[in-house]
Amino acid sequence: MMKILVLMSGGVDSTVLLYQAVDRVGVNNVIALNLFYGQKHKVEIDSARWQCEHLGVELIEADLSKVFVYNKNCSSLLAESKNNEISTYVPYRNGLFLSYACVVAMQIGCDELHYGANSNDCASNIYPDCTEEFVNAQSWAIYQGSGKKIKMRAPFNLLKKNEIVKKGIKLGMTKEEFSHTWSCYTGGEKPCGVCSTCIERKNAFSENGIIGID
């Protein structure tokens, strides 16, 4: 049976991706990988843990925050950041995540690596490491560099957030399961409700008739 490694942040997109992988190949053939990069919003790791425990999926966690120590003054997402500007680009973070995920996938014998970039991320130029061009280039690099063993897939890269939520509902995800996902960029106990990702998330839920989740 095919084995899938899912890059799992704990946000909505990667959570639906995890449910989809489990639906395809069964819980025993899916492994989730959560990577810490020094972000303020550690709550999303709790979400990833909750989901994996809930589904019975093995979760691997690794800390890559050392790589970004020289970046203190650049990205406002990092806990160490002194920057108040809206600059949420963490340099080449997703590229590093995917490359590291490929190492893990090879070590544990996975065939596919799933990445939850969505079309909003892909279309915007805010995050160059989410674009379709990047996804294509990175998947080629992974395919070549793994001796053609690992196929990287970003199955949501043409879907909008509301379509991803819809997909989750189709896979049987309940309101409670959706509530254990985290999107907000701020480091609070509860989502701020006003940042771009909070608003996008709320709209995606309400368009699918899910009311009452922050």
Partner 1 sequence: MRNGINSRNILKKKWSLYGKEDMMGKALVLLSGGVDSTTCLHMAIKKYGASNVSAFNVSYGQKAQKEIDCAKYTCNKFGIQFYEMDLSQVFQFSNCYIVSGKDEIINKDNEEQSKSGEWSSGNGGYVPFRNGVFASVGAAIAWSIYPNEEVEIVLGSQYNDIFNADTTPEFCRKMSDAMQQGTFGKITLWAPISEMSKDEVIRTGLSLGVEYDHTWSCYRNSEKPCHKCGSCIDRENSFRKLGLVDPLCKE
Q: Report how far apart, in Å, the C-alpha atoms of 2 and of each of 24, 55, 114, 150 are.
A: 9, 18, 13, 11
Q: How far is the CB of 37 from partner 1 (least distance, A)?
A: 9
Contact string 119-148 vs partner 1 (x = CB under 8 A): ---------xx-x-xx--xx-xxxxxxxxx
Cα–Cα distance between 44 and 157 in angstroms, integer?
A: 21
Q: Does 195 bind partner 1 (CB under 8 A)?
A: no
Q: Is 165 exposed, middle or buried (0-12, 13-18, 19+ CB in 10 A)?
A: buried
Report the nearest approach of partner 1 to the CB of residue 28 (Å). 19
In the complex, least distance from residue 198 CB atom to partner 1, rounded to whole angstroms: 26
Query: Which of 100, 179, 186, 202 touches partner 1 by CB under 8 A?
Result: 100
Per the CB < 8 A criterion, the answer to whether 81 and 65 are in contact is no
Least distance CB 138 / partner 1 (angstroms): 4
Residue pair 80/72 in contact (Cβ under 8 Å)? The answer is yes
104 contributes a contact to partner 1 by CB under 8 A: yes
Task: Determine if 85 is a binding residue for partner 1 (CB under 8 A).
Answer: no
Contact positions with partner 1 (CB under 8 A) in 44-73: 62-64, 66-68, 70-71
The answer to the question of residue 151 lying near partner 1 (CB under 8 A) is no
Of 158, 166, 98, 155, nearest to 123 by C-alpha is 158
Region of 59 on the Ramachandran plot (φ > 0 left; ψ -120 to 50 alpha; else beta): beta
Q: What value, to the nearest 5°, has the Cα angle with vertex 66 and ends 65 and 72?
A: 80
Q: Residues interacting with partner 1, by CB under 8 A?
A: 62-64, 66-68, 70-71, 74, 90-96, 98-100, 102-104, 106-108, 128-129, 131, 133-134, 137-138, 140-148, 150
